Chain A
């Protein structure tokens, strides 16, 4: 069983929105029709996006840190949005686990968006059907592209390589190794939706130095000798 997914490294995401714009560019230009944009250069712009980057500030000043949080469909292994669909337009592909919407069957009842706790689905006001991240299905399966380009647009666009793409069911894949070794976690695990996408937590590199390590006996930078000598034999008296 293959389960394709994204692993997003919050440690290196700088919140540049390159994944957002590349996603929009790729998916608005494809065969599935444009993603609506209203008032793009005016007040209150709105439109359909498959991927958005949010920003959170954690902690209180001055001990705060900024977390940029890219957010798209998590391609749950137990997708709650699929069984509620009355037309069968929402489905999970058995061969690679991608959750998709058939835009030709969708009646735009929005019920699936109610059944997604993550708010990953957006109704397109122009096409009047529900849309969501497809993991660039038309790109990753396109054999006419060179293999290194058969990745979602957001993954290719990320300048810090904060987005990894692969099969989370293959224990040796890049994404599985990252999840396993770098503490990858799922969003809202309390619902049991088993999101396939994982997030890698913020990590800080710290070195710990105990005071006695700074003045240890063989430290060549030692300035002072705290030992009190009373004429006994010391290591300096050894004949070499």
Chain B
């Protein structure tokens, strides 16, 4: 498949935004259980603002993928059958909840509405955070299922795709939360960093599994079934177009095998070991900026990861374009 930068930025920015929001709310839950020192309302509000900004940027990136962005509102109508439609619905809900969560913290709406069981003080931020958590995870599933549900793209048609999108999104979000904490100089760097490393390692397991799976993948279709001629030696002599066509552009990455393996090597280093080392060192030397470097490098790696995710997928229609394939 052709890796479109609009979709690469969409999926990675959304992942980081959702992850950051989930990190903030995890921090709030730990503070509620007195496992972490309570943070100021401004910490949550500021973090939510960054998460919201990432989600908005992701949404903006998605418009560049559309031929007719002015009609994008129509995309919410087919939620019964289309995962893309479901994402279009869940994304604004998530954005609204993240915004409301940040605003509730900003306005200091932390007076308990009720106390559940005499121990759990339920306030507005907690309710919004819980709803936001559900929405954020639903968004991970919707975004990943857009790809995982296309059965013709056998490289994507696997639960591993959902696991990868979720873990890698969480990893970058928690890494950003660690960077945010380090920048503000509070004591949550270790907490967020540990979660970020955990998510990164989980992501490494699932991403490596999908790489292995795709290497062993045997495609269902071949040239024989594509044109219905039972012969081993079939050579394509004409593809029905003098120059290129949509079919030769949309479904091919147009790079050599060397570029592909370079990008794979790059993301395997940038996403997994490098940020883990950096965040560990940053925790050791209490650096204020090193976690930010860890996040940025991991994000760069995720761009490469997503590029490779698209380039790796071979569409069955490519069988009809042997000279390009």
Which A positions have Cβ atoms within 8 angstroms of B? 15, 20, 39, 43-49, 52-60, 66-67, 69, 71, 80, 83-89, 105-111, 113-119, 121-123, 125, 127-130, 185-191, 199, 201-202
Contact = CB atoms under 8 A, between A and B. Distances in A.
B221 A123 contact: no
A47 B234 CA distance: 27
B184 interface: no
Nearest to B316: A117
Nearest to B84: A86
B317 A191 contact: no
A129 B227 CA distance: 27
Contacts of B77: 86-88
Give 8 nearest A-B pairs by CB, closest first.
A108-B67, A119-B317, A52-B240, A128-B67, A83-B81, A86-B75, A44-B243, A86-B85
B228 A185 contact: yes
Contact of B152 (A59, A114, A129): A114
Given A80-B152, A87-B77, A116-B317, 11 more contacts: A39-B243, A49-B241, A55-B236, A55-B238, A59-B231, A87-B85, A106-B71, A107-B71, A119-B315, A128-B68, A199-B228
B44 to A, nearest CB: 33
Given A60-B233, A187-B225, A122 B245 contact: yes
Contacts of A49: 240-241, 245
Interface stretch (B170-178, B191-199, B246-254): B246-254
Contacts of B153: 114
Nearest to B76: A86
B109 interface: no
Nearest to B72: A107
A103 to B, nearest CB: 10
Contacts of B218: none
Contacts of B227: 56, 67, 69, 187
B67 A190 contact: no
Contacts of A188: 221, 225-226, 316
B237 A56 contact: yes
A132 to B, nearest CB: 11
Given A57-B234, A118-B317, A185-B228, A86 B246 contact: no
Contacts of B236: 54-57
Contacts of B146: 111
Nearest to B242: A45
